């Protein structure tokens, strides 16, 4: 079996970019190691974080998945950052992701990334914190999520329904985008299976 020389570094990178819980099985698949090896390395990493006073990170395990988060003692700093982030105007990237969620939702993170062509974990987290979007279980992938506009967002815009957005019907059913998205997702799925 192909051994990754720095499994812990790989785990950290994956969890940092994901920004949400990642299953042990998915980590094992990406890193090309066994789930047992992933579990061993996660335990070592968790212990290292716990014992290192210079690290503000910790791992949280829940239902065969793990997420990288910050230690409770960093809460005041995180709160300052969050408050500043929430009070700032929406960036172009955030507006793009919000538009995708509005017109294509419920939409998964891989679908958003297929449309935008870049990772959007941080942006989704920010929009969730601002309560502009909501995350719920994905009915077609029990380990994933889909994103929709929040009631708060609709209230902020002063509309009663998503269908009141400009050109909603036309953009929601755009055939070229639907075909491009289906093609990209097929390519992504195929590359993960091989």
Closest CA to 4 of 46, 37, 33: 33
pLDDT at 2 over 70: no
- Looking at beta carbons, which pairs linking 123-130 to residues 24 or more positions away fall under 8 Å? 123/93, 123/94, 123/97, 124/19, 124/97, 125/19, 126/85, 126/94, 127/94, 127/97, 127/98, 127/101, 129/82, 129/85, 129/86, 130/86
Cα–Cα distance measured from residue 26 to residue 38, given in angstroms and rounded to the nearest whole number: 10
Per-domain boundaries in the chain:
7-73, 89-185
Rounded CA separation 32/7 (Å): 10
Domain 7-73 matches domain 89-185 at the CATH topology level: yes
Q: Which of these ranges, 7-21, 41-55, 65-79, 85-99, has the smallest mean pLDDT?
A: 85-99
In the block, which residue shows the tokens 């997420």? 67
User: Do the beta carbons of residue 27 and residue 65 sit within 8 Å?
Assistant: no
Q: What is the pLDDT of residues 14-45, one digit of tens each?
A: 998 887 788 999 999 999 999 999 999 999 99
How far apart CA 142 and CA 145 sit, in angstroms, is 8
Q: What is the pTM of this model?
A: 0.54
Burial of 123 (0-12, 13-18, 19+ CB in 10 A): buried
CATH number attached to the domain at 7-73: 1.10.10.10
CATH number corresponding to 89-185 = 1.10.10.10
């Amino acid at each position: 079996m192909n051994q990754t020389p720095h499994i812990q570094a790989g785990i950290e990178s994956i969890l940092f970019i994901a920004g949400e819980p990642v299953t042990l099985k998915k980590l094992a698949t990406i890193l090309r190691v066994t789930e047992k090896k992933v579990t061993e390395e996660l335990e070592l990493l968790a212990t290292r974080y716990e014992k290192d006073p210079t690290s503000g990170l910790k791992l949280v395990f829940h239902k065969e998945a793990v997420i990288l988060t910050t230690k409770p003692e960093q809460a005041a700093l995180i709160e300052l950052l969050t408050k500043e982030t929430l009070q700032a105007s929406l960036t172009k990237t955030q507006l793009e992701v919000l538009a995708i969620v509005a017109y294509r939702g419920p939409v998964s993170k891989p679908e958003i990334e297929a449309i935008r062509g870049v990772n959007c974990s941080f942006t989704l987290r920010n929009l969730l914190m601002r309560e502009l979007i909501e995350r719920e279980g994905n009915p077609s992938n029990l380990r994933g999520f889909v994103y929709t506009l929040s009631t708060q967002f609709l209230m902020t815009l002063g509309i009663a329904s998503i269908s009141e957005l400009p050109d909603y019907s036309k953009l929601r059913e755009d055939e070229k985008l639907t075909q491009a998205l289906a093609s990209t997702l097929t390519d992504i799925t195929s590359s993960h299976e091989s």
